[in-house]
Amino acid sequence: MLQRSFEILDVTLRDGSHAMKHAFTEQQVIDTAKGLDQAGVSYFEVSHGDGLGGSSLQYGFSKVDELKLIEAAAGVCKNSKVSVLLIPGIGIKEDLQDAVKAGAKMVRVATHVTEADVAAQHIALGRELGLKTVGFLMMAHMADVQKIVEQAKLFESYGAEVIYVTDSAGYLLPHEVTERISALKQSVSCEIGFHGHNNLSMAMANTVAAVEAGATYIDGSLRALGAGSGNTQTEVMVAVLERLGYQTGIDLYSIMDVANDVVAPFMQRPQEITGSGLIMGYSGVYSSFLLHTQAAAKRFGVDERDILVELGRMKAVGGQEDLIYDVAQSFAVKKAL
């Protein structure tokens, strides 16, 4: 077998949780996991959309306990390994220990791009538990290159083996991705990853830019199922990267089959770029705010785009879903005056 040029990590069962309103069933997870395993994906992620411990009123309760889903996914895999997301401040170390008991082999510890130092204990624990341990810098458009390098060095010092540039808002353009990945390649010895969102229809172009700048971990989701306008579409990415001459190690027909025969039937809506998805990319807003913003706009009778632009102006960060309702309510009050 030819050596893989990089690892494609599928996030359908984690980022897709946002688009599914955290209602994945055990059967959906089992079927998707089997398909990913058969197609040759090395790692895929299973967690609440907001990571371990994310089940809440703030983000939405999980329909099925994520530990059950992790266990179900790990149970059907011959080769693929299950990754989990952990956002310190939401999930805690015990959640990671539980996930490992359920079968997780990789942890991605995520912080806002400027706040890496809250993750030291969780990254250390990931290594201690023998997991492939990743540091995930979210909302990477909100910091300049120098800051990202500084924060990546912190992750590296805690023991991270891979560091991700995460375009949570789908805001970055290809030259900005190139700039960030290249700078990290030069300054840290970890492997570098990229996670994109398609709010400005740039996810694939950004992914290609990341690979060409040296990224060796690349995220995608089947049928693009993910927060906001979704992620880079895994099965399309396999085709594009093969055409560019890379070895993905993933079988194109098999990955297409799981996307179209397993995932597409349970999707609640097509993963297209809607008005609010576009505005998220345009104003730099965390992609998982999408459905909450639509709900708040409806409840308070205001334009969802106005809410999103205001959230961008306020520099809201990931996890601040409560602010959406606060902003919508204040707009409604102003409107009534």
Binding residues for other proteins (CB under 8 A): 56-58, 88-90, 92-93, 112, 114-115, 117-118, 120-121, 142, 314-320, 322-323, 325-326, 329-330, 333
Buried b (16+ CB within 10 A) or exposed e, 136-149: bbbbbbbbeeeebb
Instruction: Of 137, 136, 140, give the one whose Cα is nearest residue 106.
Output: 136
Structure tokens at 77: 């895999």
Distinct helix (H) and strand (E) counts, the chain: 15, 8
Pick between residue 88 and residue 249 the one whose CB is nearest to other proteins: 88
Task: Give the CA distances from residue 70 to residues 42, 128, 179, 181, 205, in Å, rounded to whole numbers and listed in that order.
Answer: 15, 20, 35, 30, 31
CB atoms within 10 A of CB 325: 16
Structure tokens at 305: 């785009």
Please identify which residue in the block is written with the tokens 């990415």: 237
> CB of residue 113 vs other proteins: minimum separation in angstroms?
9
> CB of residue 203 vs other proteins: minimum separation in angstroms?
25
Query: Do 164 and 190 meet the contact criterion of CB atoms below 8 Å apart?
Result: no
> CB of residue 206 vs other proteins: minimum separation in angstroms?
23
Pick between residue 2 and residue 57 the one whose CB is nearest to other proteins: 57
> CB of residue 222 vs other proteins: minimum separation in angstroms?
29
Query: Do 93 and 122 meet the contact criterion of CB atoms below 8 Å apart?
Result: yes
Rounded Cα distance, 320 and 58, in Å: 8
> CB of residue 119 vs other proteins: minimum separation in angstroms?
9
Pick between residue 228 and residue 318 the one whose CB is nearest to other proteins: 318
> CB of residue 242 vs other proteins: minimum separation in angstroms?
40
**The dihedral sign for the CA sequence 6, 7, 12, 18:** negative
Residue 205, SS3 per DSSP: helix
Is 48 among the residues known to form the active site? no
Pick between residue 105 and residue 122 the one whose CB is nearest to other proteins: 122
Please identify which residue in the block is written with the tokens 């400027």: 114
Task: Give the CA distances from residue 334 to residues 6, 225, 300, in Å, rounded to whole numbers and listed in that order.
Answer: 51, 36, 11
In degrees, rounded to 5, the angle at the alpha carbon of residue 69 between the alpha carbons of residues 63 and 71 is: 150
Pick between residue 175 and residue 298 the one whose CB is nearest to other proteins: 298
Pick between residue 283 and residue 320 the one whose CB is nearest to other proteins: 320
Taking only Cα atoms into account, the Rg of the chain, rounded to an integer number of angstroms, comes to 18
List, by residue number, the catalytic residues. Answer: 18
